[in-house]
Each structure stands twice: as structure tokens, then as C-alpha cells.
Structure 1
Amino acid sequence: MTAPIRVLLVDDHAVMRAGFRMILESTGDIAVVGEAADGAAAVAAASTLHPDVICMDVQMPDMDGLEATRRIVGDATSGAAVVVVTTFDRDDYLFDALAAGASGFLLKNAGPEELIAAVRVAAAGDALLAPEVTRRVIARFATPPALRQAQGASAPKPVTELVEARPGVDLTDREAEVLQLVAQAMSNAEIAQRLYIGEATVKTHVSNVLQKLGARDRVAAVVYAHRHGLV
């Protein structure tokens, strides 16, 4: 029997944590192993509970969720993936969360199914963004800096914070095809079904793409690919 996905809930509102717990534990394959009401408590709980996924609020007392994410992701002993779940649909929160190492960004007005999917995707080692957020990430990094400045847009986080730019990227035809589908927010299972190949093979292709692009995760790969015209 497969072990359940271990989740740590971090939010300064007890009612919100209770709601998330009820949603996640209704699935049967997700177990909430702990709760924290601020970033400092989240960092401490992550080091003792060793969750697979952390659902992290942003605005909290003492230490906010972005700083907590940086510390948890930066801890070499932590294998937890962080999904930022916030009420505030703000670009600074979005790009700061990605730069901090978050594997997902979800708004609290998302449906229960989206929360469950985000936890499962993060636990599988993939990245997930809310659809409206994905469009903004791609638009922000795909727009040339000069045009962005002319439009009066604020500068995004440097792309080097998300990916290590590597010149002369040489993807195979299959890897390029997989990257195209990753850019469409498809999961490994969906890509396998589309290309009529095994899910393990897809995982290998994705891993090769990330390595060749110098990308930290799937979100970073999509950003890099759009910025450099690979998709």
C-alpha cells in the first residue's frame, strides 16, 4: 500500500487550516501531519515532521511565508515541496514565491479539486500554477525588457533566479515535444497518454530537459523556453 502524502498546513487563520485539512484528508491518499500559524513555526515544523508538501500562506506575523519558503527550500535536509496558497493575487508575491523556490502558487478562491491536485502534483516533484498566474508568468518573461519598460511594467525577478541560462541548448525532437506539452501545463501522465509512451519515459525526458536548460523545475523550464523562443 502506498504511503499517504504528508502535508504541513501553514496559515495564521485556524478556520482556514481546518478547511484545508477537511478537504485534503477526504481524499484518502493525503494526510495532514501538522499545522503552523506563522513562518517561524513552519520552519521548525518542517524540520521535525518532514512533510512531503507544505501549503504556505504569505501574510503571517513574525515571519511571512516567503521567507519561510526560502529557509525551508534552502535547507539541504528538507525534501518538502512548498505550494504557496494566498488570498492576494499580486505579482510581487508570485515572482518572489518562485524565486524563493516554491513549487506552486495557488489562490485561496480555487476549488477543492485544485488544492488537492496542487498537493499531488507537488508531491510528485512537479510544479503547478493557477491558470491565470501561468499566463502572467509567461507574459512577463516572454516580453522583451525594452518593451516592458516602454509599457511601464515593473521589472520581474531576474530570470537567472529561476534558471541558469545555458547557451546552445540542444534538445532532441522528443525532448522539444515534451517541453511543448509541459508548457501547456500537462502532467507526466497526460503527456504519456498524448505521446503513447510510458510515464517513466516522460519523466526521463522532463529530467533531461530541466538539466539541459539549467532549470530548477517545470515552471522555470517554461519561463526559459518562452523567453528564448524554444516554444
Structure 2
Amino acid sequence: MRKAHEEPHRINSVGWLRAAVLGANDGIISTASLIIGVASAHAEHGHLVLTGLAGLVAGAMSMATGEYVSVSSQADTEKAALAEEQAELEADGARELRELAAIYVRRGLDMALAKKVAQALMAHDALGAHARDELGISEVTTARPFQAALASACSFSVGAALPLTVTALAPRQKVVLSLAATALVSLAILGGLAARVGGAKVGPGVVRVAFWSALSMGLASSVGAIFGAS
């Protein structure tokens, strides 16, 4: 027996893609900017490597914590909404049936067909039907705190590993230039890849991430040069 064909859609990967791209971008930008700022203050090479390593650990934990708290709040909101909807279904199922049918009427069905569709869906999974069509909660959009936190922490670490590796391998006199060049190139590639996977135009994504990344590293370098030791 052949399995039903499931057509892939880019929207199905939006959740993890957003967290992964955000984490990798932040890992590269923040770690490179941090090291460039300290390097512009004329710190020793060993101190730069230590700064990058500390930035990687702190940044990964910060990203994971922030993402977990944010998505957990979304998950709590979804759970509360589902509990409220379940209570309404148990209290007045007929009213909820009319409410669901009205939604389908607004989407273009005539009332008779809308009622049949609502009845069929509620007989199969009443809460699921209302969650999807009334509340906008589905398998694609549902909040997953642990998944988002892990994706953010891992992607940040992968991103931060690039400037940290460049710092460890590059001569002290060329750390700033090497970091700026590799960070901008890798961020441009990442921005273009994310845009392509998401179905957006590649050019604007590359320009956007390159501009703000260059600005971040430039400001960090200025701070280091102004307040650093001569």
C-alpha cells in the first residue's frame, strides 16, 4: 500500500530555522565583536582567546535561557487557551459547533457545508479542530521550549567557534583584520542561505546581515581603541 504523499513546505521549518539562524548569527557577530573590541585595546593574544572562549560559553547559555523562557511563555499561553477551549466544549458543545461553522463560512463555505465540515471535524477531534481553526495552534506553530533552547545554544556555539578558531590561529597583528573578513564572509553566506531556505530573496538577506555585522564590529573596535591601554 502506498503512503499518502506529503508535500514539503518551507513553513514547516520556520521554527527551528529561526532559532538556528539567530543563534549562529549572534555567535559570530557577538564573539567577533567582543574579540575585536578587546584586541583594539591592545590586549595580549592569550587574553583574546580567553575572551572568545568566555564569550562562547556565556553567549550560548544566554541564548538558551532567553529562548527557553520566551518559548515557555508562549507554551503556557497556548496551554491556557486550550484548557479554556476544552472547558467551553464541555459546557456548550452546540455553541462551539456554531462558532466553528461560522469560521468556515467566513472562509468561503456556504452555511450547510460549513456545518457538515464542522460536525465531521469535531466528531474526529473537537479540541484539535478549534485549536487549529479558532486559536491558530497547530503542530507547525506549537511552542517547543527545549527544542528552541537547544537549537539556539548549539547554533550559537557553532557560530562562535569560527571567530574563536580564527583568533587562535591568526598572528596577533592580523587578528582584527582576519576576524572582520571571515566574520563578514561567513555571515553573508549564512544570511543568503537562510533567505534561500526560507524562500526569500537572497540579496537583501546578505546585505542586511553584512551591514549590521560590520557596524557592530566597527563600534566594538572603536570602544576598544578609545578606552584601551596604549
- Per the TM superposition, whether the score is higher than 0.5 is no
Larger strand share, 1 or 2:
1
Larger helix share, 1 or 2:
2
TM-score range, shorter chain: under 0.3
Larger Rg: 2
Higher relative contact order (CA 8 A, sep 6+): 2
Normalised TM-score (structure 1): 0.21
Normalised TM-score (structure 2): 0.21
